[in-house]
Amino acid sequence: MVRFWAHDQAEFPLPEGHKFPLGKYRLLRERLISEGLARPEDIRRSEPADWALLGRVHQAQYLDRVREGRLSDREERVLGLPWSAELVERGRRSTQGTLEAARDAMATGYGMNLGGGTHHAGRAAGRGYCLFNDIAVAITQLREERPGLGPVAVVDCDVHQGDGTAELLQPDPAVFTLSLHGGANYPFRRATSDLDVELPTGTGDDDYLAHLEAALGGIEAWAAPELVIFLAGADPWEGDRLGRLALTKSGLAARDAMVLDRAERWGSVVTVALAGGYAPDLADTVDINLATARAVVARAG
Ligand SMILES: [Zn+2]
């Protein structure tokens, strides 16, 4: 049985009409239960990540400003979310969820955070709805808990480039950062991943899957990772408001299967984080996330 980590109970205030899909997290948790993919007790609520742990990835002054509500107007604009104590609490819980899911993966083969994938957060800056970089935090802590941890691959299939992850982890020789994203999408100032694949606007299922297969081959040429952190963004979907690509829901399911199959072949354990998804109807984003969860549950057996 796969264990899931949730933090949706920690809501935060958003202005009317804001694009952040606050409602998707609770809907996904409820559907996991109603569709029999998880029992209520399989979905655990993550605690807020320790400030000391966040401080091993992020700059101390940045964290002070976040904690004390002293982000500048510009920093808040770049983050894209209005600061509140509740937002900070939620960001910490979301970050911890990815760490817990990584621990589950190490223990049982698979773990999934019903959130996280906050890949735009860099060392000294929140960006694009991302306050903390959960991926870098999880890897940092896991290494301390398991000094022998082997190579780690970040397979970032969110439609936006994982610029914060690239900034934080590309220099790390034991981590391979792959980002597969829309070439015309945010962020407009990129960081360099170990492998960046820029897809033209309008890319559909077949081309996407061909690029993904080649990119996974790039990881394979580097090493067979012990741990794969998969950012299963729902925003490459054709109906997404921010994505600009044209994948169908079945194309996204094929993407998930390709990543999970390859990880299985490598003998990797897998941690899944949701990352983005901005369908006009939240139910579409939730469908896509649910299909990812279903694929994980099916493999975990
Ligand atoms: Zn995204």
Distance of CA 72 from the midpoint of ligand 1 (Å): 24
Tens of pLDDT, residue by residue over 247-257, are 999 999 999 99
Distance of CA 118 from the midpoint of ligand 1 (Å): 9
Residues 274-300 have a mean pLDDT of 98
Distance of CA 4 from the midpoint of ligand 1 (Å): 21
Q: What are the φ and ψ backbone dihedral angles of 272, each rounded to 5 degrees?
A: -110, 135
Amino acid at 256: D
- State CA 119 to chain mean position distance: 6
Residues 74-100 have a mean pLDDT of 98
Q: How far apart are CA 182 and CA 162, in angstroms?
A: 11
Distance of CA 233 from the midpoint of ligand 1 (Å): 6
The confidence band for 301, taking pLDDT boundaries of 50, 70 and 90, is confident
Tens of pLDDT, residue by residue over 123-172, are 999 999 999 999 999 999 999 999 999 999 999 999 999 999 999 999 99
Q: How far apart are CA 213 and CA 194, in angstroms?
A: 16
Distance of CA 146 from the midpoint of ligand 1 (Å): 30
Distance of CA 136 from the midpoint of ligand 1 (Å): 17
Q: Give CATH for domain 4-9+23-300.
A: 3.40.800.20
Q: How far apart are CA 296 and CA 267, in angstroms?
A: 15
Distance of CA 276 from the midpoint of ligand 1 (Å): 4
Distance of CA 148 from the midpoint of ligand 1 (Å): 32
Report the chain's mean pLDDT, rounded to a whole number.
Answer: 97
Give every CB contact of residue 264 below 8 A, 6+ residues apart in sequence.
299
Q: How far apart are CA 179 and CA 120, in angstroms?
A: 12
The confidence band for 1, taking pLDDT boundaries of 50, 70 and 90, is confident
Share of the chain residues as helix, strand and coil, in percent rounded to the nearest 5: 45, 15, 40
Residues 255-274 have a mean pLDDT of 98
Amino acid at 252: L
Distance of CA 147 from the midpoint of ligand 1 (Å): 32
The confidence band for 93, taking pLDDT boundaries of 50, 70 and 90, is very high
Neighbours of 213 (CB within 10 A): 11
Tens of pLDDT, residue by residue over 209-225, are 999 999 999 999 999 99
Distance of CA 274 from the midpoint of ligand 1 (Å): 10
Quick one: pLDDT at residue 83? 98
Distance of CA 163 from the midpoint of ligand 1 (Å): 11
Q: How far apart are CA 229 and CA 206, in angstroms?
A: 23
Tens of pLDDT, residue by residue over 198-209, are 999 999 999 999
Looking up tokens 């790039």 gives 218
Q: How far apart are CA 166 and CA 115, in angstroms?
A: 20
Where helices occur in 183-247 by DSSP H, the ranges are 205-222
Starting at the earlier edge strand, list the strands of the sheet with 43-45: 43-45, 4-6, 110-113, 269-273, 227-231, 152-156, 175-182, 195-199
Distance of CA 275 from the midpoint of ligand 1 (Å): 6
Burial 14-46 (b: 16+ CB within 10 A, else e): eeeeeeebeebbbbbbebbeeeebbeeeebbeb
Residues 225-239 have a mean pLDDT of 98
Distance of CA 161 from the midpoint of ligand 1 (Å): 8
Quick one: pLDDT at residue 116? 98
Residues 111-125 have a mean pLDDT of 98
Distance of CA 117 from the midpoint of ligand 1 (Å): 9
